[in-house]
Structure 1
Amino acid sequence: CWTASRLARRGLQHHPRCLLCDQDPETIQHLLMACPFAKQTWHIILDWAHIPAQPPANETTMMDWWLRAKAQTPPTLRKALQSITLLVPWMIWKQRNECVFDNARPLIDALV
């Protein structure tokens, strides 16, 4: 388990707050589902793909959201939902890493 002190000893900076919203501590659940940046990203992409599922909200895990979203999505759009479920977290993670390692500002338009 990587703690802030272990990261500091290795010369790595640990940001106590999410760099995408600067509102809450960064956890994987927050970063991918609860962060306002992530929520807006999910909303835009699901809307663009005409997928009627609601973006992640209060689910504990991505699997919980996936099961709910799959039930809300017509069979003809489920392959698109599967792709989006893999790609959106990856793109959010890449955006976060750009903020951490390149001092970039989080930009939803660039991500989308």
Structure 2
Amino acid sequence: MSSICCPFCGDKDESATHLFAECAVSSIVWQMASSWINIPPIYAFTIEDLLRVHENITGTATIKKLAQAIVLISCWSLWKSRNDLIFTGTRVDISRLLAEIKSTSFLWVKHRAKMNLLTWEDWSSFNIL
């Protein structure tokens, strides 16, 4: 019989809200991501809170769009880590997860947002403007 508990923390039943907003693992990811991009700590109680993070930060429209992209990529990376844990038993490594978020978002922003002059050094330190 499979468990309905969160695969990351095992403390509560798994739900989208728990996985992305309430779980200790996602909370650490949000704190690390907000520190990386120099915004106030991300506290989310619902998925809607996450989808509105960019609306509640100060900065240019570009910074807000980048924050939105990083939140979406972080959710995707958390979901992939959840699946890796469930299907292959790969334990979550938060440092590796943040590195994946940084690298995936770098590639996405550099090529999809047409920021061709963006360097990895500037992105990894979030020295954008």
Match of 2:73 in 1: 87
Per the normalisation by structure 1, the TM-score is 0.76
Question: 1:66 Cα deviation (Å)?
Answer: 3.1
Q: Which whole-Å CA distance do the structure 1 matches of 2:11 and 2:57 have between them? A: 30
Point out where structure 1 has 5 or more consecutive residues left out of the alignment.
1-12
Point out where structure 2 has 5 or more consecutive residues left out of the alignment.
99-129
**Number of equivalent positions:** 97
Q: Which whole-Å CA distance do the structure 1 matches of 2:14 and 2:29 have between them? A: 17
Larger RCO (alpha carbons 8 Å, 6+ apart): 1
Match of 2:115 in 1: none
Q: Which whole-Å CA distance do the structure 1 matches of 2:50 and 2:14 have between them? A: 19
How big is each residue's C-alpha offset from its partner over 1:35-87, in whole Å with a ceiling of 9 and x where there is no partner? 000000111011111123x31332x3x22343354222322520221111210
Report the RMSD for the aligned CA atoms in angstroms. 1.8
Residue identity (%): 29
Match of 1:72 in 2: 57
Q: Following TM superposition, where does structure 1 have runs of at least 4 consecutive aligned residues deviating by more than 4 angstroms? A: none
- Please give the residue correspondences for 1:1-112 in structure 2 after superposition, counting only pairs within 5 Å: 14-52=2-40, 54-58=41-45, 60=46, 62-75=47-60, 76-112=62-98
